[in-house]
């Protein structure tokens, strides 16, 4: 009997993935990763949004344990707090210092879930590892999950072919409603559990308050990029992302003002009126840290610039330094620090990090 070590997150997706693996005849072992020390800057206590004043990570572990007990699966727990800090959280802070908008989940998959986790799974005798990601692997190709609303290949775009060897994605062929139905059928504690959203180590906490523990806030001017007039004060450039509308607190027509750029040198946040303003639109970007999972190197394909973004038709130019010039037609809010993930139909080719955003071949001066 082949042995599968599955990452049990305490959520419904990994819970159902474990059931599906058992039904296929695998010996299933659960492994829960503790990636964050929730006692640091712990403001969970007394938070009415959280159950029983227990931090979410411990809640998740208790749920994973309950599921494994119900399914008669052994559950191991491993501590990757130090490694997560070094490889993911430090990257997150460094990117914010540069005024960029990082995606720590992508780095967590690259360095923790599909690296350290795999090494730990092998110690447990794993023939395969599995997770609850909505993705598929067919003939060595990483394909989108069947559920287009839940597809998570965007977050797997920095993985290597080697990291995806002997990996199983049991829920990749299901839509979310089917996953919920299976969990209800087995009467799992996670069946109706809300999906986690946002950045995992911040959870229910206020983003700005959390960051103040690590990065000093530097208030500065909010400037209307058209009139060059100061229209308000920002709390720190790191708290804002391109295309953001809510939370600007600049009065007047603030509900129709959008963040269009940042200037680190002057500590200025630029805004513009209307979601159709030209400052939000670009026609190319330079992508660094390119990682190709596929052997394909097309000149035309589609790209996602954000997880929930639409597929955009793009033309690719492979630069000598390993970067990629990605050209497209008037796309809004392409943001430095975010991932650009490439697709050829259903196949995820890989991805990289947006380094520069351009229009008419010129780097946009108000974008970092």
CATH number of the CATH domain containing 222: 2.30.30.280
Are 224 and 180 part of one and the same domain? no
Same domain flag for 358 and 267: no
Q: Which residues contact 324 (CB under 8 A, 6 or more apart)?
A: 286, 287, 290, 316, 317, 318, 340, 352
- Least confident range from 77-91, 111-125, 238-252, 335-349: namely 238-252
Mean pLDDT of 59-70: 96
Report pLDDT digits (tens) over 71-98: 999 999 999 999 999 999 999 999 999 9
Instruction: Supply the pLDDT for residue 52.
Output: 46
Within a domain: residue 129?
A: yes
- In this prediction, residue 210 carries a pLDDT of 85
Q: Is residue 135 part of a domain?
A: yes
Give me the CATH number covering residue 315.
2.40.30.10
Catalytic residue among 108, 301, 340, 348: 108
| DSSP secondary structure string for all residues of 210-266 | HHTTTS----EEEEETTT--EEEEES-GGG--TT--TT----TTGGGEEEEEEETTT
Choose between 14 and 248: higher pLDDT.
Answer: 14
Residue indicated by tokens 């360095």: 111
pLDDT digits (tens, 9 = 90+) for 144-169: 999 999 999 999 999 999 999 999 99
Active site residue 348: no
The 230-234 sheet, strands edge to edge: 230-234, 220-224, 268-273, 257-263
For the chain, the average pLDDT equals: 92
Residue 200 lies in a domain: no
Whole-angstrom Cα distance, residue 190 to residue 8? 11
What is the spatial distance between Cα 79 and Cα 73, in angstroms, rounded to a whole number? Answer: 20
The full 3-state SS of 144-212, as one line of letters, equals ECCCCCCCCHHHHCCCCCCCCCCEECHHHHCCHHHHHHHHHHCCCCCCCCCCCCCCCCCCCCCHHHHHC
In this predicted structure, what is the pLDDT of residue 252? 67
203 within domain boundaries:
no
* Same domain, residue pair 257 and 239: yes
**Do residues 264 and 294 share a domain?**
no
Average confidence (pLDDT) over 104-133? 97
In total, how many domains does the chain have? 3
Does 284 lie in the same domain as 259? no
Structure tokens belonging to residue 5: 């070590």
> What pLDDT is attached to residue 45?
42
Q: Report pLDDT digits (tens) over 249-302.
A: 787 666 789 999 999 999 999 999 998 899 999 999 999 999 999 999 999 999
DSSP code of residue 323: -
Is there a single domain that holds both residue 153 and residue 7?
yes
258 in a domain, yes or no? yes
Provide the pLDDT confidence category of residue 195 given band limits of 50, 70 and 90: confident
Boundary of a domain, candidates 208, 238, 273: 273
Note the pTM of the prediction, 2 decimals: 0.92
What angle is formed at CA 147 by the lines to CA 142 and CA 152, rounded to 5 degrees? 45
22 within domain boundaries: yes
| 27 occurs within a structural domain | yes
Q: Is residue 368 in a domain?
A: no
Residue 70 CB-density burial (10 A; 0-12 exposed, 13-18 middle, 19+ buried): middle
Taking residues 301-313, what's their average pLDDT? 96
Cα diameter, the chain:
70
Pair (316, 353) in one structural domain: yes
Edge-to-edge strand ranges of the sheet holding 3-7: 75-79, 27-34, 3-7, 128-130, 167-168
Note whether 171 and 289 are same-domain residues: no
For residues 76 and 99, membership in a common domain is answered with yes
32 pairs with which residues across the strands?
A: 77
**Residue 284 shares a structural domain with residue 268:** no
Range of the domain at 224: 216-273
Q: Residue 202 above 80 pLDDT?
A: no
> Which whole number is the average pLDDT over 26-48?
74
Domain containing residue 63: CATH number: 3.40.50.620
Q: How confident is the model at residue 50 (pLDDT cuts 50, 70, 90)?
A: very low
Q: Strands 3-7 and 128-130: what pairing?
A: parallel
8: left (phi over 0), alpha (psi -120 to 50) or beta: beta
Q: Which residues pair with 129 in a beta bridge?
A: 5, 167
Q: Which pLDDT value is given to residue 47?
A: 46
Same domain, 254 and 338: no
Is residue 135 domain-shared with residue 28, that is, in the same domain? yes
């Amino acid at each position: 009997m082949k042995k599968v070590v599955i990452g049990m997150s305490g959520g419904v997706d990994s819970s159902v993935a474990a059931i599906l693996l058992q039904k296929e005849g695998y010996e299933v072992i659960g492994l829960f990763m503790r990636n964050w020390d929730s006692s640091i800057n712990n403001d969970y206590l007394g938070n009415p949004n959280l159950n029983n004043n227990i931090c979410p990570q411990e809640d998740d572990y208790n749920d994973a344990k309950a599921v494994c007990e119900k399914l008669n699966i052994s559950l191991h727990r491993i501590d990757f707090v130090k490694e997560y800090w070094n490889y993911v959280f430090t990257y997150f802070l460094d990117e914010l210092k540069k005024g960029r908008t990082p995606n720590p989940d992508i780095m967590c998959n690259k360095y923790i879930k599909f690296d350290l986790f795999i090494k730990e799974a092998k110690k447990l005798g794993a023939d395969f590892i599995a997770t609850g990601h909505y993705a598929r692997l067919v003939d060595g190709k990483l394909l989108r999950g069947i559920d287009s609303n839940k597809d998570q290949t965007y977050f797997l775009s920095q993985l290597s072919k080697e990291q995806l060897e002997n990996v199983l994605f049991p829920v990749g062929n299901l839509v979310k409603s089917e996953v919920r139905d299976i969990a209800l059928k087995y009467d799992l504690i996670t069946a109706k559990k809300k999906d986690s959203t946002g950045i995992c180590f911040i959870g229910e906490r206020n983003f700005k308050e959390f960051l103040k523990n690590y990065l000093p806030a530097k208030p500065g001017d909010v400037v209307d990029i058209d009139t060059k007039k100061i229209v308000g004060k920002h709390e720190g450039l790191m708290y804002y992302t391109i295309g953001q509308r809510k939370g600007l607190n600049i009065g007047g027509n603030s509900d129709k003002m959008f963040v269009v750029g940042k200037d680190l040198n002057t500590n200025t946040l630029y805004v513009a009126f209307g979601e159709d303003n030209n400052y939000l639109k670009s026609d190319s970007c330079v992508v660094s840290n390119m990682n190709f999972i596929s052997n394909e190197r097309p000149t035309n394909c589609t790209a996602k610039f954000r997880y929930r973004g639409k597929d955009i038709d793009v033309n690719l130019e492979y630069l000598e330094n390993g970067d990629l010039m990605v050209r497209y037609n008037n796309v809004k809010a392409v943001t430095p620090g975010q991932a650009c993930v490439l697709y050829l139909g259903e196949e995820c080719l890989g991805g990289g990090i947006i380094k520069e955003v351009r229009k008419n071949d010129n780097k946009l001066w108000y974008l970092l």
